Amino acid sequence: MKLTARIPASNRALEIGARRLRAAVKKIPGAVPLFRACRYVLDPGYRSERRLMRARPEKLFQPHALTSFDRHPAIFSFIERQLRGCAAPRILSYGCSTGEGAFSLCTYLPQAEIVGIDINPRSIRVCQKKQARSGDARMRFVQAATPHGEAEASYDAVFCLSVLRHGELGVRQPETCGHLIRFADFEEIVASLCRCLKPGGYLAILGSNFRFADTAAAAGFEPVFSLPGNKARADTPLYGPDEGRLVGAVYNDVVFRKRGGA
């Protein structure tokens, strides 16, 4: 049975407010470059993002580390309910940013071992400092572009939330996306995430510019949870395997169960 849930209004309101503020600032002559220069000097997080964008490492998708605590409660709650029978679940947070999502999961799954992976070395350093302060030995954070180093069939749930995307696509709405992100890279990363999952495990993908259903790996999964509001949002246009824009496409499925297992 596939369930549905609504995106919290508070999170959506914050995102809309941030977009409106950015739009207002852009209308002031000279404000954008001045703002960026000041932010580069004063904000180490922003500085690490700009350096990452200039370096353009292989398999880079979302360069921005925007996140917040308990950002996706409907998804977290659903996974928690599915794993209640698991005494010590293993969870992978791919693209964990500065760790807010991983630490949120600790409150939903207090007995879980949680591993966070992110391509940004500064983000991982921030996560590791938070983990050291918390003293929580169940958590581990690794700097990596892909999950290739994780063992096969070793996780009960994998989260990939607002990671396999690029913010510039939402700003400019180009007809093709290959100059920023490639479907082949998306499919490779998704296949690796699926490899890490145990049979019967859960894969959560949200905010991607590509659809999981278009990958070869999707044949081994069934959708079990969807968000009605997760459809071709203006800041998250959808693209197909040919990297062409899917105008008006709707794709609500968010959580998928790997076939097999109990």
Determine how β-strand 155-161 pairs with β-strand 197-206: parallel
The per-residue pLDDT for range 112-139, each reduced to its tens digit, is 999 999 988 889 999 999 999 988 888 9
The separation between CA 26 and the C-alpha centre of its own chain, rounded to angstroms, equals: 27
In angstroms, the CA 38 to CA 18 distance is 19
pTM of the predicted model over 0.75? yes
Residues 6+ apart with CB under 8 A from 185: 59, 61
CATH class of 3-258: alpha beta
Nearest by Cα to 156 from 209, 113, 201? 201
Bridge partners (DSSP) listed for residue 84? none
Q: Sign of dihedral through CA atoms 105, 200, 164, 93?
A: positive
The per-residue pLDDT for range 84-108, each reduced to its tens digit, is 999 999 999 999 989 999 999 999 9
